[in-house]
Amino acid sequence: MILHNRLGREQLIVRINSETFKRKTVSFYRYIRISDPQLFRDELYMALESLGCYGRIYVAHEGINAQMSIPEHHVDEFLNLLDSRSELKNMPLKWAVEDDRKSFLKLKIKVRRKIVADGLEDEVFDGTDVGTHLSPVEFHELSASDDVIVVDMRNNYESEVGYFKNAIRPDVFTFRDEVEMVVAQLQDQKDKKILLYCTGGVRCEKASAWMRHHGFSDVNQLHGGVIAYAQTIKQLALESGFIGKNFVFDERLGERITSDIVSKCHTCGAPCDNHINCTWNACHKLFIQCDSCQSAMNGCCSENCQHELSMYPENNFPAKKMAMASACSV
């Protein structure tokens, strides 16, 4: 059996557009010892492939990190599959808030050294000494207080389109830079109550442990991340403390949480929060562009890329997803 996808992107798009059923997008992670990641990966691939699941999953000795698209009629079988493995049993799942059923086009499972590319040396701190997990309601109530510090543990391209209104949002592109900047910025406030949040919770596990290692005494984290928060707030009909879009690492590139548009088109400056990749694949830059500019610029991020695309369309080979997406950070 072939344990990887062999179809090109155009074929994958045709395949998903021909589907007559609905899909549900879900994410999950768990830090747990996996003795043989490659065997675990191959067995998981065969099982998920048989259910028609798509997604991007990273497996390492330290655990699993997954974002997936599940055929709606196979959800129960998918849940039974998770519970059939001791490493995945009773897995906390975060279902998408906004779903167009095309979040993923194929199934990709990779064995990695870590389930999140955090850039941290695990040997120098205790990664299990994490902060206090707060439920979405607990986080909602505490984050409204004046005597807490709320910190966005996502990268700048994520927080640009949505964030908690009173959060510190480090202007960095990598998680490693972010944890170091946060520790340095809050050095004089180690006794304050710190509230961390990220997309699905996995980055806060490492971030909270890193902060505790550096002497912060009251570190807390949003359990389940923005995804779980948005679901709970919607169910309880509460006013969301998170405004705008929640950036996600799949084909959708974002889930709308509130109607607020908090960012601008990088081309013209008009209110906009739609991320796209530059059409000129040699660039493939992730940026924000409104519909009008997409039309005028052919989806390119600059006049130079637009010129290259018009001059050498035959050289516009499909590009790999940009490096930030490969981190699959939730």
> Catalytic residue at 53?
no
Q: E-strand spans in 50-139? A: 54-60, 63-71, 94-95, 107-111, 132-134
Contacts of 228 (CB under 8 A, 6+ apart): 94, 136, 200, 201, 222
What is the distance between the alpha carbons of residues 122 and 212, in angstroms, rounded to a whole number?
14
Percent of the chain with pLDDT strictly greater than 70: 96
Q: How confident is the model at residue 329 (pLDDT cuts 50, 70, 90)?
A: low
One of 198, 204, 272, 305 is an active-site residue; which one? 198
Helix/strand/coil for 158? helix
Cα torsion 171, 167, 100, 112: sign: positive
**Residue 14 phi, psi (nearest 5):** -60, -40
Across residues 221-249, what is the average pLDDT?
A: 96
Which run of H or of E encompasses 218? strand 218-222
Q: Is the pLDDT of residue 207 over 80?
A: yes
Residue 97 corresponds to which tokens in the numbers above? 């808030």
CATH (residue range 122-232): 3.40.250.10
Which run of H or of E encompasses 165? none
Q: Is the pLDDT of residue 319 over 70?
A: no
Q: What digits encode the pLDDT tens for the residues 34-93?
A: 999 999 999 999 999 999 999 999 999 999 999 999 999 999 999 999 999 999 999 999
What is the distance between the alpha carbons of residues 244 and 254, in angstroms, rounded to a whole number?
10
Domain locations in the chain as residue ranges? 9-115, 122-232, 275-325
Q: Is the pLDDT of residue 327 over 50?
A: no
Across residues 21-30, what is the average pLDDT?
A: 95
Its CATH class, for the domain covering 9-115, is alpha beta
pLDDT number for residue 320: 53
Helix/strand/coil for 224? coil
Mean pLDDT (the chain) is 92
Half-sphere exposure of 264 (CA within 13 A, CB side): 5
Residue 140 corresponds to which tokens in the numbers above? 């909602």
Across residues 191-215, what is the average pLDDT?
A: 95
pLDDT number for residue 125: 85
Q: How confident is the model at residue 276 (pLDDT cuts 50, 70, 90)?
A: very high
Q: Is the pLDDT of residue 105 over 90?
A: yes
Is there a contact between 197 and 204 (Cβ–Cβ < 8 Å)? yes
Across residues 215-233, what is the average pLDDT?
A: 96
